[in-house]
Amino acid sequence: MFNKFKIGMDIGTKNIKVVFFKNEVVSDYIIKSIPKGLKNGETEDDKEMLNILNDILKSFKKAKDVYLTINDERLITRIIKIPKMPIKEIKDYLDLELQQYIPMTLDNYVVDFKILEELEDNSGKFYNLLVVAVANAIVEKYVQLIESVNIHLKAIDIHTNCILKLIKKYNLVDGKNNVRAFIDMGDRYTNVSIFKGDTLLINRLLSFGGFDLTQSIANLYNLNFEEAEEIKIKHLDLTDVTDAKEELRESVVPMINNFFMDLNRIFEYCSSNLNSPVNEIFLYGGTSLINGITDIYFKWFKVPTKVIDCNFFNDKISLKDEKNIPFLLNAIGVVIREE
């Protein structure tokens, strides 16, 4: 029987984001902080994670199906080119050929793929595939966690595919040759996905996030982490050069510049190797809400930069507090099922 109630869940390193769907429409959501120092997937933290999830799910008793999206440095993604072949043969092909793209033993990994596009060149027809490899232990841990709170785990997805599904579902393509960078700025990691039209060109996970900025502020003022986090949220402005805030801003600028240098290498690869210079940048994730963030992106890359909001979806997504849309995109996108 069709279950009209669904949950999209994004378990991050700082927050758990849960979106409740009724008849495929966002009905409600919860953003719940994960206590600092708690590492999901570590045995000693299982009980506290269960308590957090049980507390969240009290608000969504009608939903029994959950779609989970994860982002982990141990998750490997690659875009590879293979000859066109029957879909059922691709998995066997990858088992034989994937080692040349991923330099590690894959015996303990779950491998999945998605056809991004079918193309043809002088050598014949071929597929561009998005290939994902994730350690068995990670998958098993999430399965156990979800099943322990008496809900059904329908699917596990990755952040890049979530934003890709949102782009396609809401017809967000502005010209098939328009190259857009979607940058998910989380607490520990930044996930960079670059699309040409609705075709994924490249995906990279960078070790930079809001945690780094907070830690820098804590070190500058000799504060505990919670006090530094409050200062970051309330007072950090990356474009404010007044004497009162210059010291605060300058404390985080070096690490942001290092992040931008890493990001610029990705952009240069797209421009030089893929003939696809980025012409728009869209930000989401909690760290995208830092004051002045879009201005310094533009200063660095000379590319129009926006934080994604409900206007981006032409008001097809509505929330009770629309300022939270940057936190929830992955949890919304994970529920979208493709034909």
Read off the pLDDT of residues 175-213 as tens digits, 9 standing for 90 and up: 778 999 999 999 999 999 999 998 999 999 999 999 999
Residues 79, 128: contact at Cβ < 8 Å? Answer: yes
Tokens of 231: 């200062």
Half-sphere exposure in the Cβ direction for 238 (13 Å, CA): 21
Q: How confident is the model at residue 37 (pLDDT cuts 50, 70, 90)?
A: low
CB 278 within 8 A of CB 179: yes
Gyration radius from the chain CA atoms: 20
Nearest to 214 by CA among 239, 186, 233: 233
For 74-93, the pLDDT digits (tens) are 788 889 999 999 999 998 88
The pLDDT value recorded for residue 303 is 96
310: left (phi over 0), alpha (psi -120 to 50) or beta: alpha
Please classify residue 35 by burial: count the beta carbons closer than 10 Å to its beta carbon, then call 0-12 exposed, 13-18 middle and 19+ buried.
exposed
Question: Residue 41's pLDDT band (boundaries 50, 70, 90)?
Answer: very low
| More confidently predicted of 314 and 221 | 221
Which residues share a beta bridge with 125?
Answer: 120
- Domains (range + CATH), the chain: 5-72+137-170+328-333 (3.30.420.40), 76-136 (3.30.1490), 179-313 (3.30.420.40)
pLDDT recorded at residue 171: 79
Residues 10-14, mean pLDDT to the nearest whole number: 89
pLDDT at 217 over 60: yes
Residue 237 to residue 296: CA distance in whole angstroms: 10
**Distance between CA atoms of residues 4 and 312, nearest Å:** 26
